[in-house]
Amino acid sequence: MVKCPRCGYENNDISMYCENCTYPIKNPQSAGSTNKGNNGWNISTGKKIAIVLGIVVIALLLFSFIYNASQPDDKSSLNVISAKEKVQEGSNYPYQVHVMYNGTWDGKIGDLNYPNDVSGHGDDLYDLNCAPWDKVGIVINKVDGSTNELKVELLRDGKVVAENSTTNATGSVIINYN
């Protein structure tokens, strides 16, 4: 009989673990072997792998949640332009372009990296859904060859922050802001 060093229970000679408290005990049949038991948790390798995998999965889920929460949603996508007849829902960006001209015109407006084509006849107002930190570019060209004044204003939160005009028959108005 082998006595358990932890609880003192008398175990069979072939027992590797105490039958009472499951503490690892010295096997007398393996001569010269030493008991390398520890006083900590006795966790099998499979359980250790499961715990590590669980921690990795939780970390990935947490990272995914934080990443998705930091991305803009569809309603607040950058650089969407709508004419004055259309309402862009979810717009929380501050820029507008006001084109004032008694004639036909066309051009590009928006984020300098992603400009949008626009055209019209007469006055028009466009909402630029560029973020406040975006560089805004505006190029409006006369199409009809008139010497009437073409004036373009860039508004931020309803206030004019940049403007330019031309009376040249083949003129263009260019505004780069920010």
What pTM, to 2 d.p., does this model score? 0.49
Task: Please give the Cα distance from 106 to 15 (Å, whole number).
Answer: 91
pLDDT at residue 164 is higher than 90: yes
Same domain for 93 and 54:
no
Q: Specify whether the CB–CB gap between 134 and 178 falls below 8 A.
A: yes
Domain that holds residue 146: 78-177
The count of domains in the chain is 3
Same domain for 61 and 31:
no
CATH number at residue 173: 2.60.40
Q: Are strands 114-121 and 2-3 parallel, antiparallel or unpaired?
A: unpaired
Q: Could you read off the pLDDT of 123-162 as tens digits, one per residue?
A: 999 988 787 778 899 999 999 988 999 999 999 888 999 9
Same domain for 23 and 93:
no
The pLDDT value given to residue 101: 94
Confidence of residue 113 (pLDDT cuts 50, 70, 90): confident
H helix or E strand, kind and range, residue 54: helix 45-69
Q: Could you read off the pLDDT of 53-84 as tens digits, one per residue?
A: 999 999 999 999 998 888 765 555 544 455 55
Burial class (CB in 10 A: 0-12, 13-18, 19+), 18: buried
Of the two residues 114 and 82, the one the predictor is more confident about is 114
